Amino acid sequence: MMQPTEGDPPDRTLLLTRPWRLAGASPGADADATYFLPDGRIGGAVPDGAASWDVADGRLVLRDRAGRRFASFVNAPADPLAVEADRRAARPPTLRLDGHRGADDAALSLTALESRQAVAPGSAIRPIGARSGRRNLVVVHAGLGTAWETWSRDLAPADRNWDLCLVWHDHPDGRPDRPDAQYHAIAFRTERWEAMHRLFPSGGKLSGYDRVALADERIGWSWSGINLAFNLAHAYDLSLAHPALDRDPRSSLRFASAIGDLCPIFSRHALALCAPCLGDDAADERGPRWAARLGVPAHRIAILDDASIAAPDGIGAAMPAGARVLGRIDRSDPPAPATPQGEGVPA
Amino acid sequence: MIEPGPVQTDWTGRRWRLGHPGRPPIAPQMLLLPDQRVGGSDDDSRRSWAFRDGALTLSGADGMPSVRFDRLKVHFDEWRLGGTELATGAAIELNETLPAQVPIDRIGSVDAVPLHGGPRRDFLVIVHAGSRTLHHRWERDIDDSARNWDLLLSCSSGDPGPGRDEADLFCEQSHIGTTRLLYCLLHPESALWDYRYIMLCDEQIMLRWSDLNRLFVRMVEHRLLIGQPAMGPDGHVEHEITRARPDLLLRYTTFVDRAAPVFEPSVLRLAVPTFGTVYLGQGMDHLWCFLIGRPRGRMAVIDDVAVTLTDPIGGRYRAEIGDVEEELICRTYGLQPDARELGFIAR
């Protein structure tokens, strides 16, 4: 990787693909693992006062909610000692941006952090199979005799809007004789979230889907329900969604501060940001951590009441403890249809 | 067999009449919208369209196919599709038709002239200028450089009234009505389509500059196709649904009224042709919501921004004439006025 040149505009690709640490000379300016999201928002640890980012006039500019400049950065001069240290350690060059905060001119710096996304080749789980052209993917950490095998096939296979990836955890060779699945992978005796983490390295075979559901093998679902869940997530442009367990009869969906980990549905971008930490957290911390990492507003995270699932008691929830409902889209009957009229009346 | 063909506008650029053979139309002015939704119809079984297995298929809110057209006949350049209603097996037709209303007169296009230099901002506010306009009294509670919107004054009376110089853009065309001047201004090649959102603000709206900043930020955040500020307690309310709810950030609705609508440009492009067909504009707001299929979660009254309507729009003309115009619009398009809340996001 080339070391960026001092004073050059910050490279957008680098900004998007790495977590960054913000450090400042004054209190309150530090933020760990900040993410610059493609739509101009800031995810992960958001520096106090910053709300969005862009590259303007050759600078990385952080802006406040009103669009005013909060801080701006350019590529820092290369430190020969650091370059040499990186070379000796055979690691990518350290990337740093230097800048100033607009309000008080305090010096700030942004340093690119290593991402766990760079999974060592030997540890990645490699799915076997090929994409069908569908836009969505369901991944099941699968063993024999669990509920996923009984999902109702209430759709013709051609009408499915999702591919299926089975990640076998109970057999060293897997069971590749399942025609419903487009991919098979082996994660023998590997815990579910560790397997998911190793399944999604950056740029891997499964990275091109619009939305990905990571389903617990114990949930009850149906093929049409999966279609509907993906359609809802797409229609409302949700970054994170979870099918409801206890369905709210008033709602089509409920916006929430976080979702649970039984069957999270990630947008492509959300998965790219969360994949590095899929294996990191305790069960009750995962959902809140994903929400915080994405930095998305509440209306991008939702519980899907119109597309519910079943699950045995005690294995999890659609919404983790402490999460809040922040709004909803109502179920509603449309108004009575208009009586068919005669031909259009010209003005 | 019907294939999409290389040019999507072959399908999206036409008006369609949907109905059973030999019977009055179910939807006299249906649209296949570019984002695959169906406009000009309120039926929940026909919310989206796509080409599947050699047929143009309409699907419902649940994602399930409801109508399939597999025969296309071109009759003197007019497209006629034949198909089947899947629930009943009944034959159904989708025939190309002419727009129900044509512009009252042909005035030609009008372009706005910039009054000041400086870079253009992201959003546009259009206010009709005259002796009663209040824009020059809007509270300037933020610096001019912090505005994220340009102000365009349109004048049709020959007297723009006070505050002309405060506008960023100005256009003038004497002796035509307010709505028809908009029709001329927003012509297909207008440079105004480059704005990210366009607000048509009644001249009797009172607000603060920061209200507009926040309004546009909310439109972007929530990906709204049409939105409006809520109407505050000190002014008039044309439709009860627009009355401000201070406890909420916004309410998703099926309706946005004509006092201060904010449009995503592709939606405004659909609405503009109807501007040339009306005198008073009553009922036009129901029409534009109907034409875009009242998409759930994409239309909202933004309670976070409350403005004041100082003079009721409907009080400026004889009510019975306005009612006739609204009734004519409803009859022509087969639409039922529908102003409901469909959900909310709390503060």
Q: Is B284 helix (H, G, I), strand (E, B) or coil?
A: helix
B residues 149-208 lying closer than 8 A (beta carbon) to A: none
For chain B, the average pLDDT equals 89
Contact between A299 and B101 using a beta-carbon 8 Å cutoff: no
Q: How far is it, in rounded angstroms, from Cα A105 to Cα A26?
A: 10
- How wide is the angle at C-alpha B250 spanned by C-alphas A294 and B42, nearest 5°? 105
**Which among B35, B214, B184, B203 is positioned nearest to B123, based on CA atoms?**
B214
Contact between A344 and B29 using a beta-carbon 8 Å cutoff: yes
The single-letter DSSP state of residue A299 is: G
Segment A29-33 long-range contacts (CB within 8 Å, at least 24 positions apart):
A29/A101, A29/A106, A29/A108, A33/A113, A33/A293
Q: How far is it, in rounded angstroms, from Cα A243 to Cα B273?
A: 41
Query: Does the beta carbon of A124 lie under 8 angstroms from any beta carbon of chain B?
Result: no
Residue with tokens 């799915």: A127
Separation in Å, CA B51 to CA B48, B65, B98: 11, 11, 23
* pLDDT recorded at residue A88: 78
**Which among B39, B29, B102 is positioned nearest to B273, based on CA atoms?**
B102
Separation in Å, CA B238 to CA B171, B213, B313, B314: 28, 24, 8, 8
SS3 of A257-277: the string is: CCCCCCCCEEEHHHHHHHHHH
- Reading the block at residue A181, the tokens are 């699945």
* pLDDT recorded at residue A26: 59
Q: What percent of chain B has pLDDT over 90?
A: 56
Q: Is A136 helix (H, G, I), strand (E, B) or coil?
A: strand
Q: In Å, how far is A68's CA from the nearest CA of chain B?
A: 7
Length of chain A: 347
Q: How far is it, in rounded angstroms, from Cα B113 to Cα B161?
A: 17
Closest residue in chain A to residue B27, using alpha carbons only: A340
Four-point Cα dihedral A275, A280, A284, A288, nearest 10: -50
Q: Is B99 helix (H, G, I), strand (E, B) or coil?
A: coil
B330 vs A contacts (CB less than 8 Å)? 338
Q: What is the mean pLDDT of each run of 10 residues along chain A (347 residues)?
A: 60 78 67 74 77 84 79 82 76 80 84 59 75 93 90 90 94 84 92 91 82 96 94 92 94 94 94 83 83 81 95 87 92 50 32
- Name the least confident of A52-56, A329-333, B182-186, B297-301: A329-333
* pLDDT recorded at residue A339: 37
Query: Does the beta carbon of B111 lie under 8 angstroms from any beta carbon of chain A?
Result: no
What are the b/e assignments for A145-164, b being 16+ CB within 10 Å? eebbeebeeebeeeebbbbb
- Asked if pLDDT for residue B169 goes beyond 50, the answer is yes
H or E, element range at A254:
strand A251-256
Q: How far is it, in rounded angstroms, from Cα A35 to Cα A294?
A: 8
**Which among B279, B277, B333, B268 is positioned nearest to B106, based on CA atoms?**
B277
Phi, psi of B80 (to 5 degrees): -130, 125
* pLDDT recorded at residue A2: 47
- How wide is the angle at C-alpha A88 spanned by C-alphas A23 and A120, nearest 5°? 80
B26 vs A contacts (CB less than 8 Å)? 337, 340
Contact between A330 and B343 using a beta-carbon 8 Å cutoff: yes
Closest residue in chain A to residue B53, using alpha carbons only: A158
Phi, psi of A120 (to 5 degrees): -60, 140
Q: In Å, how far is A200's CA from the nearest CA of chain B?
A: 29
Q: Is B88 helix (H, G, I), strand (E, B) or coil?
A: coil
* pLDDT recorded at residue A347: 28
* pLDDT recorded at residue A336: 43
Name which of A68, A255, A298 is nearest B146 (Cβ-Cβ): A68
Query: Does the beta carbon of A267 lie under 8 angstroms from any beta carbon of chain B?
Result: no
**Which among A120, A130, A111, A84 is positioned nearest to A21, based on CA atoms?**
A111
- Reading the block at residue B127, the tokens are 């206010």
Contact between A329 and B24 using a beta-carbon 8 Å cutoff: no
Residue type, A344: G
**Which among A171, A126, A32, A11 is positioned nearest to A75, based on CA atoms?**
A11
B19 vs A contacts (CB less than 8 Å)? 340
Q: How far is it, in rounded angstroms, from Cα B25 to Cα B21?
A: 9
Segment A45-54 long-range contacts (CB within 8 Å, at least 24 positions apart):
A46/A295, A47/A22, A47/A71, A49/A103, A53/A15
Contact between A345 and B345 using a beta-carbon 8 Å cutoff: no
CB-based contact A154:A228 (threshold 8 Å): no
Give the other-Cβ count within 10 Å of B10's Cβ: 12
pTM for the full predicted model: 0.78
Query: Does the beta carbon of B42 lie under 8 angstroms from any beta carbon of chain A?
Result: yes
Instruction: Please state the rounded mean pLDDT for residues B301-315.
Output: 91
Contact between A66 and B210 using a beta-carbon 8 Å cutoff: yes
Name which of A68, A231, A328 is nearest B344 (Cβ-Cβ): A328
B323 contacts: CB under 8 Å, gap ≥ 6: B282
* pLDDT recorded at residue A303: 97
Which tens digit of pLDDT belongs to each residue from B249-282? 999 999 999 999 999 999 999 888 888 777 788 8
Query: Does the beta carbon of B335 lie under 8 angstroms from any beta carbon of chain A?
Result: yes
Q: How far is it, in rounded angstroms, from Cα A66 to Cα A173?
A: 56
Q: Is B76 helix (H, G, I), strand (E, B) or coil?
A: coil
**Which among B336, B308, B202 is positioned nearest to B262, based on CA atoms?**
B202
Q: How far is it, in rounded angstroms, from Cα A174 to Cα A166?
A: 9
B44 vs A contacts (CB less than 8 Å)? 334
B222 vs A contacts (CB less than 8 Å)? 297, 299
CA-only gyration radius of chain B, Å: 21
Report the DSSP beta bridge partners of residue A55: A60
User: A136, A237, A299: best mutation site toward chain B, by most B Cβ within 10 Å?
Assistant: A299
Show the DSSP H helices in B176-229 as ranges.
178-185, 209-221
- How wide is the angle at C-alpha B62 spanned by C-alphas B56 and B66, nearest 5°? 35
* pLDDT recorded at residue A45: 72
User: B217, B251, B284, B290: best mutation site toward chain A, by most A Cβ within 10 Å?
Assistant: B217
- Name the least confident of A64-68, A155-159, B11-15, B53-57: A64-68
- Name the least confident of B63-67, B75-79, B100-104: B100-104
CB-based contact A33:A21 (threshold 8 Å): yes
Closest residue in chain B to residue A306, using alpha carbons only: B62
**Which among B236, B239, B328, B238 is positioned nearest to B279, based on CA atoms?**
B328
Query: Does the beta carbon of A239 lie under 8 angstroms from any beta carbon of chain B?
Result: no
B residues 3-32 lying closer than 8 A (beta carbon) to A: 19, 23-26, 28-29
Phi, psi of B179 (to 5 degrees): -70, -40
- Reading the block at residue B334, the tokens are 């087969």
- Reading the block at residue A126, the tokens are 């490699």
* pLDDT recorded at residue B206: 97
Q: How far is it, in rounded angstroms, from Cα B212 to Cα B225?
A: 17
CB-based contact A32:A18 (threshold 8 Å): no
* A229 Rama sector, left if φ>0, alpha if ψ -120 to 50, beta otherwise: alpha
Query: How many pairs of residues across A and B have Cβ atoms under 8 Å apart?
Result: 108
Q: Is A161 helix (H, G, I), strand (E, B) or coil?
A: coil
B28 vs A contacts (CB less than 8 Å)? 341, 343-344
CB-based contact A11:A97 (threshold 8 Å): no
Name which of B25, B102, B334 is nearest A346 (Cβ-Cβ): B102
